[in-house]
Amino acid sequence: MADAWSLLDLGPAEYTSVLDLQHRLVRKRVAGAIGDTLVLVEHPHVITLGRRGEEANVLHAGAIPVVRVERGGDVTYHGPGQLVAYPVVSLAARGVDLRRFVRDLEDTATEALARYGILGRHIEKRPGVWVDDPVRGERKIASVGVAVSHWVTYHGIALNVNTDLTNFQRINPCGYGSDIMTSMAEQVRQPVVFEEVKEAFAECFAEQFGAQLTPADPGEAGDGWPGGEPVPSVEEDGPARGDRLPQKAG
């Protein structure tokens, strides 16, 4: 029997606001006040740096905000046309280790891509989902970066659907050159219906994680989100995150 999960489909939503929502959900999941939850969102333009991200990998952010966050990994870009999934999951309750959880996220994206005839794959020691582009060679189509507090996960996976790949030229994504990135639209040579990809991803996630996803209200789940009192970071071993960095020229 599938486990009961809440599905929060935020549509387009600003990054730091959704980071605040994740912090709220993590604290409630740690306290046992809610069950496991999947958040789906499309962010406006933002660049994020993980715990050990090198600021030198932000080449020319311009007007795009740069935010330091708690997740693993280096630097990445989020923006319109990209589907981002944030599972808030108790690993302890599921008896699953973090490595397995990350692989399950990658496999979810791989299965969703397969529905569009795109062959994604896992590469050992290179997190994310990769494809072999017949013209451009090996390319990355989805990026993974997670964080854990008291064995509850947050952050997650970003799948490039109709993403404008020129925005990756502003960074060295995950330490690679900007041309390493691709999208579903680039692979199938035409734009893809975003809402259909979201639905496919949710179905594949439910299958991969044994989840019964039930739509829920983000405001109720997040104690009045958006708004209310700010919630500090759930980072356990460092200063509060979610801070915007000074902008570089360019």
* Tokens 């599905």 belong to residue: 7
Active site residue 204: no
173: region left, alpha or beta (phi > 0 left; psi from -120 to 50 alpha): beta
6, 211 contact by CB (below 8 A): no
Which residue among 174, 192, 206, 231 is the active-site one?
174
**Which runs of E-coded beta strand occur in 15-95?**
37-42, 46-49, 66-68, 75-78, 82-88
Partner residues linked to 244 by β-bridges: 67
Distance (Å, whole) CA 26 – CA 233: 10
**CB-based contacts of 98: which residues, under 8 Å, 6+ apart?**
91, 146, 148, 153
63, 250 contact by CB (below 8 A): no
Distance (Å, whole) CA 74 – CA 92: 26
Q: What angle do CA 116, 145, 66 make, to 5 degrees?
A: 105
Catalytic residues: 174
